[in-house]
Amino acid sequence: MWESKAVMKKSIIALGCLGAIAAALLIGALIAGGIYNSLVRKSQAVDQSWAQVQNVYQRRADLVPNLVRTVEGAANFEKSTLTQITEARASVGQIKVDPNRAPTDPNQLEAYQKAQDQLGSALSRLLVVVERYPDLRATTNFRDLQAQLEGTENRIAVERHRFNEAVQTYNTAAKTFPNVILAGMFGFQPKPYFSATAGAATPPKVEFDFGKPKAEAR
């Protein structure tokens, strides 16, 4: 009888140990599931923000043809400026990125940003050059396009900032322990940021010296 009680006691202890292990595994699974779901939500927030960035950049690209057609009719307008804009827009189209999924390759994002920044710089130069053409600036069509372009540039700055915030939130979560363990297991890679554009605070410099006689050397 004593032996049966000992066996029963051992069985109860064994069941208790198994129950504790099962409870620990369940708690661990719930924690892991919570971490995984959190990383998914943060990753999707980055992708959603990226899609918004794509939308505003596409909006700017769509304005370019109308803008070029409007200003190229102006007498003696700088052809080189229009050429720069056309070439910059074409280079943007050559950078292939998924419009609905944020890139994880820093080099890909850098190339994409470089192409977009070149187009932005060319458009800024155009707006400066247009100051030399009051008749063009006075046209309703150009004023409307200019307002749309300026509004789009503001939206680009806003959406890029929001994208970087979403990336920071995601990267911080993915690199924090114990999240970093699951992030590595399930392929949650760090995502790159948009970097500040070099010289963005400096307006383009344009010197108008057409027809101006050169100073004679003394």
Question: 133-151, pLDDT tens digit by residue?
Answer: 888 888 899 999 999 999 9
Q: Where is pLDDT greater, at 121 or 218?
A: 121
Q: What is the mean pLDDT of residues 174-190?
A: 91
Does position 202 have pLDDT exceeding 50, yes or no? no
Question: 11-53, pLDDT tens digit by residue?
Answer: 677 677 777 787 777 776 778 888 999 999 999 999 999 999 9
Question: In the CATH hierarchy, which top-level class contains the domain 2-48+57-185?
Answer: mainly alpha
Q: b or e along 85-112 (b: 16 or more beta carbons within 10 Å of the residue's beta carbon)?
A: bbebbeebeeeeeeeeebbeeeeebebb
Whole-prediction pTM value? 0.80
pLDDT of residue 132: 87
Structural tokens at position 196: 């500040």
* Domain extent listing, the chain: 2-48+57-185
Does position 156 have pLDDT exceeding 60, yes or no? yes
